[in-house]
Structures are given as C-alpha cells and as structure tokens.
Amino acid sequence: MGQERQSMQDQAAQRFVERIGPLEPDSAPLYLQLKRLIQDAISTNLLRAGEALPPERDLADTLAISRVTVRKAFEGLVDAGLLVRRQGAGTFVAERVEKNFAAISSFSEDMLARGRTPRSVWISRTEGQVTPEEALALGLSPGSAVFRFTRIRYADDISMALEYSTIPAWALDSAEAVAESLYDALGDRRPARVLQRLRAVLFREDQAQLLGIEAGSAGLEIERRGFARDGRTVEFTRSWYRGDSYDFVAELVAPDGQ
Ligand code: 16G
C-alpha cells in the first residue's frame, strides 16, 4: 500500500476517534469502552446510518490498542444490530428502521415491508380479568375477560422492541389464536383507528436483559389504543422500541387555507 494512502487512512481513523471520544486506560475493559463510545455516537446520530467505520487495523493503530480488542467491540455491535459487515467492503453503521406514523401498521408488516423477517419470543400469553387501568383504556366493565401478550419482537435475529398487549376477550377465540402476528389473528377486527401516546423511556434492568441491551439504554414507549371498525376498543398495547434502531417518521400537512 502506498504511504500516501496509508496516511490518509490513518487520518480518517484519527478523525473518527476525535468524534467518538477517548478511551480511558484505567477504567472498564477497553473493548467495552470502545463499544460504548460507538454505541453512544450512533444513538446521538453523531455516526449516521450507512456510514463506514475505519478498518479495524487503522482504528487499533490510532487508539494504540490491539486489533483483537477492536474486533471484539465491532462484533458486539454487529450482534446488537447496530453495525453491519459487508463482505470485502468493511463495517458500516446499520440502517435504522423508519416507522411511518401516517398509517396503521403492525410490527410484522413493518418488518416484511423492509425485507426483514419478523419473529417473536413469547414472555407470556395469558387470560385474565381486566385491571382498573386496562378497564379504563379498553372501555370495559370491571371483571371483563381479556388476553394478555408479552413479546420480544425481533427483525431477523436483532431485538427491536418489547410489547405488552391487552386484548378484550370478545376479539379473539383464545390466547393461542395469536401465532406470529396479533393483527393477523384479529383479522377484520384489527384497529381501523388508533390513538397513540409517545414517551421517552430508559430500559429497566429486566427489560434490557430481555432485549440483550444495556440497562438504562434510551427507548421510546408508544402506548396504542386501537379501535375496530365498529368503534369498539380492541387493543391496548405498550410497545417499548429501542431508541438506537428506530426513527419515527410522519408527514404533516398544513390546515386548509394556509
Ligand atoms: C405494532 C403496534 C402494536 C401492535 C403490533 C402488532 C406500534 C407503535 N405498535 O408494534 O400496537 O400490537 O404492531 O404487530 O405501531 P403484529 O401483528 O406483528 O403482532
């Protein structure tokens, strides 16, 4: 490799290190520190989706650490879905999933539309009686029967969200009726109109463990109340989306006459 090209690559690695910030030699293991620095830079959009990372060797030289340490940090971030490797081309910041807020869609539909495979791990699937909070959200009388579903949602093998859903018993034949997609199981009772509330959240330890992310990571909680075509409330779901993987996009139009 020509000296000139090598020095340009060193400069690129140097600029990268200036952006993500320094390692601290005497604190946590270096690969964990590097992983955290890159992760923070992705969460805050300092590193953009699709951006190339410097080659492992250049980054190792610039940081004066071993290449194995850099590789370990990169591998952790590839496993977490934040970086992708492309054969022969290098390592890149993964594209974030853009969720359109102008249309009602299900998690499965969102993922399939992007060529990803939706998958869920069930935490619980139960039948019970409404809690006071659910009764208010679903407009049900005390004592009404509901189904509750708690799932970890994945795109391919990357964890994306935790979802806690409560569905009134009239809307489904049984809890087992929900296989992969709740909206498929609801069929023509799936929401035709929804009300949503968004809130910034930090993942608790137990939730972070389920998603394989660090406790305290930033996320977005979306509370959805869904109404069937006949006007009845058919869904009360709290979705906790990973803040480092999702962008929420909405098209807004000015009111008439402006
Ligand atoms: C989405 C919905 C959630 C719904 C789920 C159904 C948002 C914010 N949340 O995650 O309310 O229960 O899709 O997905 O859009 P499924 O049909 O794949 O189970």
**One-character DSSP codes across 92-117:** EEPPPEEEESSS---HHHHHHHTT--
Do 109 and 224 lie in one domain? The reply is: yes
Cα 70 from chain centroid (whole Å): 24
Q: Which atom of ligand 1 is nearest to the CA of 196?
A: 8
Domain range for 133: 97-249
Q: Which atom of ligand 1 is nearest to the CA of 109?
A: 18
Encoding tokens for residue 215? Answer: 């406790």
Q: How far apart are the first and last CA of the chain?
A: 60
Do 242 and 132 lie in one domain? The reply is: yes
User: Do the domain assignments include residue 80?
Assistant: yes
Give the Cβ contact number of residue 228 at 10 Å.
Answer: 19
User: Do the domain assignments include residue 254?
Assistant: no
CB environment 71-98: b (16+ within 10 A), e (fewer): bbbbebbeebbbbeeeeeeebbbbebbe
Write the CA distances from 128 to 17, 47, 58, 92, 99, integer angstroms.
53, 45, 57, 46, 32
Kindly report the CATH number assigned to the domain that includes residue 69: 1.10.10.10
Ligand 1 close to Cβ of residue 222 (< 6 A)? yes
Cβ neighbours of residue 54 under 8 Å, at least 6 residues apart? 9, 12, 13, 16, 62
Number of domains in the chain: 2
The residue whose C-alpha atom lies closest to atom 12 belonging to ligand 1 is: 237
User: Do the domain assignments include residue 255?
Assistant: no
What pLDDT sits at residue 56? 94
Q: What is the pLDDT along the chain (258 residues), one digit of tens a residue?
A: 567 767 777 788 999 999 999 898 778 899 999 999 998 898 788 898 889 999 999 999 999 999 999 999 999 898 878 899 988 889 999 888 888 888 899 999 988 988 889 999 999 999 999 999 999 999 999 999 999 999 999 998 889 999 999 999 999 999 999 999 999 999 999 999 999 999 999 999 999 999 998 899 999 999 999 999 999 999 999 999 998 888 888 888 898 876
The residue whose C-alpha atom lies closest to atom 9 belonging to ligand 1 is: 239
Ligand 1 close to Cβ of residue 62 (< 6 A)? no
Ligand 1 close to Cβ of residue 224 (< 6 A)? yes
What pLDDT sits at residue 97? 81
Q: Report the residue among 182, 190, 221, 234 best suited for mutation to probe ligand 1: largest number of ligand atoms under 8 A from its CB.
A: 182
Element (H, E) at 247: strand 246-249
What pLDDT sits at residue 241? 94
Ligand 1 close to Cβ of residue 16 (< 6 A)? no
Ligand 1 close to Cβ of residue 182 (< 6 A)? yes
